[in-house]
Amino acid sequence: LKRIKKQISMKLKGIDENQLIKILTLPVKKDTSVLRGIGDDAAIIRDKKNKFLLITTDILIENIHFKIAEAESYQIGHKALACNISDIAACGGRPKYALISLGLPKNLSLNFIKGIYRGIKKLANRYKITIVGGDISSSEKLTINITLLGFAKRENLVFRDGAKVGDRIFVTGKLGGSGKGKHLKFSPRVNEALILTKKYKINSMIDLSDGLAQDLYNIISRSKTGAYIHEDCIPLSSEAENIDSALYEGEDFELLFTAPERESEKIKGSRAGKLKITEIGRIVEKSKGFKIIGKDKKAKEVSLKYAFKHF
């Protein structure tokens, strides 16, 4: 299940989201057509011989993921679709069909709703996505649920759980400070992911939605490995206050991926489209843990306690 929310701190009777998902999703029936289900960026389903169907869904709710007073209507629409596109990109896919469910407060103006759709449609056109359906209901809080379908060729397909000990860890672009505006207007990395997965052997990939700490943890926990990253190497955006912005704030929507050491020389310092790629660390054995090497050269455990929690 994906998380694309601003930092909130609430308790659902003391249960955190990962526990909640575990409780709710087991037991799941085995379906051999489903390569990856709950837990990856998108569900991955065998469609044809060399074609895989990808499906992802995200729910955005007023005051949780955006505030109407702080965002233009078209930015809300843009973000709602963009974070779904980012999930498809992270699997090496191209987005194709979208369904849009809206819960609309009765006091919302028609112009505001048109603005949301303008943001959605502009982005849909840019990525050649067709809006094929949806649902509309009244609601107390503005709610947008988008489901996005895409397709991937076998040669591009990449999962979260494929990281191998010895892999180098890379990110596209610069991290941190997205909350200052970028989270409302970012470009999902579809073409960059297609270039990367075509040119190099990529073992695992995820989009950076919850912050580098949580998202890299998602890769290593599912790949049953550890990771060392270097504070010095992490590319900070000019909006980032410090390294914690990159580690914990989330919503950068850049790509985080791992590739075998022998690919490293080719990838390091190269570009995916216009985006710079930076090597930030390596995958290690699980027993070595998840550590960040500070500017003082000391290794310390990466804490997840500051990472985004939903409840």
Residues that bind its own copies (CB under 8 A): 1-3, 5, 8, 10-13, 15, 17, 20-21, 23-25, 28-29, 31, 34, 37-38, 40, 42-43, 45, 47-48, 55-61, 63-65, 97, 99, 101-104, 106, 108-110, 113-114, 117, 125, 130-141, 143, 145, 147, 149, 310-311
Nearer to its own copies, 143 or 172 (CB): 143
Q: Which of 72, 252, 264, 28 is nearest to 167 (CA)?
A: 264
Nearer to its own copies, 31 or 296 (CB): 31
3-class DSSP string for 184-244: HCCCCCHHHHHHHHHHCCCCEEEECCCCHHHHHHHHHHHHCCEEEEEHHHCCECCCCCCHH
Q: Which of 92, 95, 144, 91 is nearest to 119 (CA)?
A: 144
Q: What are the residues facing 278 on neighbouring strands?
A: 171
SS3 (DSSP) at 163? coil
Q: How far is the CB of 246 from its own copies (least distance, A)?
A: 24
Q: What are the residues facing 205 on neighbouring strands?
A: 257
Q: How far is the CB of 42 from its own copies (least distance, A)?
A: 7
Nearer to its own copies, 64 or 304 (CB): 64
Nearer to its own copies, 43 or 190 (CB): 43
Burial class (CB in 10 A: 0-12, 13-18, 19+), 175: buried
Q: How far is the CB of 269 from its own copies (least distance, A)?
A: 35
Q: How far is the CB of 24 from its own copies (least distance, A)?
A: 5
Nearer to its own copies, 62 or 263 (CB): 62
Q: How far is the CB of 26 from its own copies (least distance, A)?
A: 10
Strands 271-272 and 255-259: unpaired
Q: Are 287 and 227 in contact (CB under 8 A)?
A: no
Nearer to its own copies, 35 or 165 (CB): 35
Q: Which of 205, 169, 193 is nearest to 272 (CA)?
A: 193
Q: How far is the CB of 295 from its own copies (least distance, A)?
A: 36
Nearer to its own copies, 99 or 195 (CB): 99
Give CA–CA dist 281/292, Å, rounded. 9
Question: Who contacts 157 (Cβ-Cβ below 8 Å, separation ≥6)?
Answer: 44, 52, 91, 92, 93, 197
Q: How far is the CB of 92 from its own copies (least distance, A)?
A: 17
